[in-house]
Homo-oligomer: A and B are copies of this chain.
Amino acid sequence: MVLTQGEGGLRMSGAPAGEDAEGRVLDAAEELFYAHGLQAVGMDALRTASGVSLKRLYRLFPSKEALVEAYLRRRDERWRAELAAYADARPAGRERLLAVFDWLGTWFAEPGFRGCAFVNSFGELGSSSPGVAAAARAHKDAFRRYLAGLAAGAGAPAHLADQLLLLAEGAITTAALSGTAAPARQAREAAGVLLDAA
């Protein structure tokens, strides 16, 4: 129930925040990796931000790469859980499907929003780290499957999910680059048109 003041946003409402060492390390990793990028954050910065000694840090995670992958894994779970909690509270069908873009809009408006952590990580290390590349692909696959479920619930054909994924993905990057939340509304409108036409 603790809500940290984290500038990184995306703190799941019921998640414990930093009571044990592993949680504190992952909290620090999420805040720093997301804000500054993977390579820009050193193990020493993680140690300072988490208050966990270097020795313990390396016992919890055998290497920086392992910590990066744990960060991406937890971020994926939290991100999708937050989205599902928001959308699944709406009536199934068209309204729930479009709620995805409303939720994106609230995410874009969070301070410190800097685009998709997985796209950023993939662009930075995807060509040299198979683990990072796989985590990014797994995240997008899971997101696509979730959209496909919503599309089916709205009676839309399967190929609509792919198009909705493109709209959501484009909105995320465009919001990050432009620094505004407007792409969420534009994507929502486009999604409505595509849904009506399907």
Contact = CB atoms under 8 A, between A and B. Distances in A.
Interface of A: 35-37, 39-40, 114-116, 118-128, 136-137, 140, 159, 162-163, 165-171, 173-174, 176-178, 182-183, 186-187, 189-190, 193-194, 196-197
Contact of A124 (B123, B182, B190): B123
B169 A37 contact: no
24 contacts: A37-B124, A37-B125, A40-B125, A114-B126, A115-B122, A115-B123, A116-B173, A119-B119, A119-B123, A120-B124, A122-B177, A123-B124, A137-B177, A140-B177, A159-B186, A162-B182, A163-B186, A163-B189, A165-B170, A166-B166, A166-B167, A166-B186, A169-B173, A170-B170
Contacts of A127: 35-37, 114
Contact of A194 (B35, B36, B178, B193): B193
A64 to B, nearest CB: 14
Contacts of A169: 169-170, 173-174
A163 B193 CA distance: 11
Complex copy number for this chain: 2
Contacts of A194: 190, 193-194
Q: Which 9 A-B pairs have the closest CB atoms?
A: A120-B123, A170-B170, A166-B170, A169-B170, A163-B190, A124-B124, A162-B186, A123-B123, A193-B197
Contact of A183 (B119, B162, B177): B162
A20 to B, nearest CB: 29
A182 B183 CA distance: 23
Contacts of A193: 193-194, 197
Nearest to A166: B170
Nearest to A196: B197
A119 B173 contact: yes
A166 B171 contact: yes
